[in-house]
Structure 1
């Protein structure tokens, strides 16, 4: 890779005022996994009348977030707005087609002061990430960059990454921490992205980078910020988990997933851990290395929830006297719109709406969901896998007989918002489902390599997320999770006949999977690679041709035995 222009290891905002004589109340508001969702989307919240049920609201969107932030700052001027990673990347069309520059503009105007990087910040490579930070039009996609404005000035907030270094030089690619002076007290933020980022990002996007252990990286900088006079330390970790408790249950103790091990190893001097990545709302506590309960919080995704910490900080003793954590629902129907944010959304949509509003078809159902059944198969996953097979079956386009789709690449239900009584869907709806612009890639695999790929579904570091590949029509198999590793998959068939482990088959995946993404390393052994259509174009074409026949039901191609 090209030599990186490295940024210093840290940024600090020094205090010009005297140390306050009394404790200071500080509010920290964070958004995780925003993914350029400038407009609200559907979100399910507990029904206040019966918590065993849920109700759907329109939540998120920069217009409502802007108003919530204004109200918070009016109540407490000592309010900080931060990001927990994936501010951009995997975005809806209104942001994605403009290289996420409208989202950066919105975060700048909302007063975001810093954000840990997420894995999706690396989707287009580290040089493009540095352009997003610094500004300029020298993008690796000039068809999208600087089309929102004819210039791009960069993110006014600072991206942080304590655990991302250049493999050759060992130098940090971004600052590890930032210290903010808030009402006379110093709040230090140390950020780290999941160490497994190379397994969930297209390999070319992170070539030449090393991702180290999250807790070790954060702990390295704790004594440094303490020596700089930090009164409170907050860890920002783009890694998460899931809880069986709802997002509004305070101090839950049911958190599971990769964040648990990370959080338990983070220095006890860290007052709270704000997280992201798994798109799960929770407000839990986990024991720190001294056994004391510490807040670990995440706010769902797409701006549906804002993480909020209210701290009382004593600058005389450099301690946090009290901390309260909550998840704030960004209810678009009940929140006034921020005019400045409306202007950004209107401007972005004016550029992209002609493409987004192009009709595709009228479905036979209101919505096809990505929600998985007990076996890990979804109705939308079936449709997408079928679309990829249909686009590559022609011998001239690869001659595929099987297609696999990674569930992490299915970003929304189709369409995302219901009710949808007209049952109409547009290209914008399709783009929201598949925003990455991945290229369909046909490779030759042996039956054994196909089985190896399926076995890797159960040996995958993805806390809180399924990694069950969605499969195309004619292909089926069973699995038993109680069996030994490498022997869990059985009864693999293609068009009713057993798969021959020694035979060769043409298989369609996207280029992300073909390069071993999501830790499906067996696919890297595929030969005779042939690139084809962009995935969203194949999906849209298939829906247009087959809309009336799409039932919205899972096709039960995958059978879970135990």
Structure 2
């Protein structure tokens, strides 16, 4: 495959060079210090990478706990939640970070779009692509959410053009597509077996070719609707990166960076937590991936888990290698500084340093991003600002660390209420997948609507996928299997605990293993045990009902009835069950009795 050229236009000029710091105790040759002196030819070139991931269309500062970063207050030594994020602040932060770095590239590890708040999602994420053009993104891997609307829509994000059904949103203005390059090395057309987008991108940095390989997680089909990945194959992350690393090396590209939409779980939620030299403080899929990727890859930028880390994980030769993630929603960016050896064309591994930085909201807003945001906010306002309900306090969803989330319970209640009538499907119980809850409902007003008022835009931020609801018939045995699949099979290592309607109760014992964690004798629906031979009408969104998130028992259901969208069902529930005089209180979240792990000793 030929080396691809540069893409995009820079919105900000970059200033003069600054030497990158060294990692650890390994020193570079003295000639590196002669860079730029007298008539000596520089033997090393400095390169700065600024990395983000999982932006999810959060152009406005994210609300509630989704808009904070956990850090240690240096004045008190206590852990605090610092407000962070917002495209206007992110643009300023990145532009300032580039100052003094003539060789600077901005990269991302997927999920820049998808599951987006209304100001971007209402317009099929065109606003976010335009914002990333302004911010100066150079290249990104695809993530699973780039496939929410299918591969044809992803290609439109790259190439431009008006939406095939909604058309153009402003008279005389056509969406021009991404100036940055989308990479999809491990996403192939099932007929041609070729990548649906370019697998890598190469940038010539003052005579040194630097290659970027982009992949998403192999398990993307398990967490995206079937329609979104129809006709596509998703390959192994390690095999794909190593394949294209070899191809790049054959082309004389010896400086390689992997952009991987898969991540890890650091032992601490503090954004600048030190994982340790051997990466002992991080777990999750990225650990095995990083340990098996070709040592020629000098740095790995990751995403997907929405966690923050800047770790060193040993490569196959046992040499520590930088692996980073900048949380999500534009609340952090990672600064990676490295040196390129002009003789070998390789990244000088001991030179690589990486650190996450908070996108604080005391920065000046970038005027061009403010103008873009105001334009789309104005277009969305008639829909976004419409009041749909009232609450007494914050109802946490995305921001809740508990297995049972108050907002998840409320959504499940809404789905049961909206689909229980015989002509609506006759649902007897409802389930909501936790990954589909994208935000919190926040009591304190962010705009002029008043405290406790829930707007359509806020509800859209919680449920932006607009999945259609389904009601299916499951046997009692299959219903029990659904509960067991939360903690077994594909979900055994990382349980996905479903949110349930208020008529279902059971106990989850985390001291047990696999499916046994669900105490079958404890399951009660409307106060009665589940009859394995009986039939039950079960409501869930189309993603979950189709077996997504590792729940094949849902897919085995019969007599499917398709209802309204999850967004419409939730909005209707809030309107019907709350008013200014009788707002909704947060559910007690007492439907699942969790027996926590008992630590030895």
TM-score with structure 2 setting the length? 0.86
Provide Cα deviations, 1:363-387, integer angstroms capped at 9, x if missing partner. Answer: 111444444465x101111000001
Matched, 1:315 2:308: no
From the superposition, tell whether residues 417 and 262 of structure 1 become closer, same or farther in structure 2 (CA, over 3 Å).
Answer: farther
Relative to 1, partners in 2 of residues 1:127 and 1:20: Cα closer, same or farther, differing over 3 Å?
farther
The whole-number CA distance in structure 2 between the counterparts of 1:148 and 1:214 is: 43
Aligned to 1:135: 160
Tell me by how many angstroms 1:251 deviates.
4.8
Q: Does 1:305 align with 2:305?
A: no
Partner Cα separation in structure 1 for residue 74 and residue 102 of structure 2: 31
Distance 1:499 1:31 in 2: 46
List gaps (5 residues or longer) in structure 2: 8-39, 597-601
* Structure 1 residue ranges without an equivalent (≥5): 1-7
Query: Any conservation in 2 of the 1:377–1:554 contact (CA below 8 Å)?
Result: no
Change in Cα spacing, 1:466 to 1:428, as seen in structure 2 (3 Å) is: farther
Moved more, 307-316 or 179-188: 179-188
- Specify the alignment match of 2:33 in structure 1: none
Alignment of 1:405 onto 2:432: yes
1:63-74 aligned at under 5 Å gives the runs 63-74=88-99
- The aligned counterpart of 1:543 is 574
Aligned residue number for residue 187 of structure 1? 210
Counterpart Cα distance in 2 of 1:326 and 1:462: 32
The CA deviation string for residues 381-426 of structure 1, in whole angstroms up to 9 with x for no partner, is 1000001001011111111110000000000111397889822221
- Matched residues in 2 for 1:149 and 1:76: separation? 38
How many Å separate the matches in 1 of 2:216 and 2:461?
24
Structure 1 residue 250 displacement after superposition: 4.0
Which residue pairs with 2:482 in the alignment?
453
1:337 equivalenced with 2:365 (yes/no) = yes
Query: Partners of 2:446 and 2:181 in 1: how far apart?
Result: 39
526, 538, 541: which one aligns with 2:557: 526
Query: 1:306–1:329: 8 Å Cα contact kept in structure 2?
Result: yes
Q: Shift of the alpha carbon at 1:20? A: 6.4
- Kindly tell me: are residues 440 and 74 of structure 1, through their superposed partners in 2, closer, same or farther at Cα, counting changes over 3 Å? same
Distance 1:235 1:264 in 2: 13
Residue 242 of structure 1 is matched in structure 2 by 265
- Cα distance in 2 for residues equivalent to 1:445 and 1:451: 10
Moved more, 349-358 or 144-153: 144-153
Distance in 1 (CA, whole Å) between partners of 2:59 and 2:178 is 16
1:172 is the counterpart of 2:195: yes
Give the conservation status (yes or no) of the 8 Å contact 1:26–1:78: yes
Give the equivalent residue in structure 2 for 1:11.
4
In 1, Cα distance between equivalents of 2:443 and 2:549: 24
Aligned-residue offset at 1:44: 3.0
* Partner in structure 2 of residue 4 of structure 1: none
Stretch moving more, 389-398 or 537-546: 537-546
- 1:77 match: 102
Contact 2:389/2:583 (<8 A) preserved: no
> Cα RMSD (Å) of the superposition?
2.3
- Which of 527, 534, 539 is 1:503 aligned to? 534
Aligned equivalents of 1:510, 1:422: Cα separation in 2: 30
CA distance in structure 1 between the partners assigned to 2:539 and 2:336 by the alignment: 46
The CA deviation string for residues 204-239 of structure 1, in whole angstroms up to 9 with x for no partner, is 111111111101100001122123232421111000
Following superposition, the deviation at residue 314 of structure 1 comes to: 1.6
Which residue is 1:233 aligned to?
A: 256
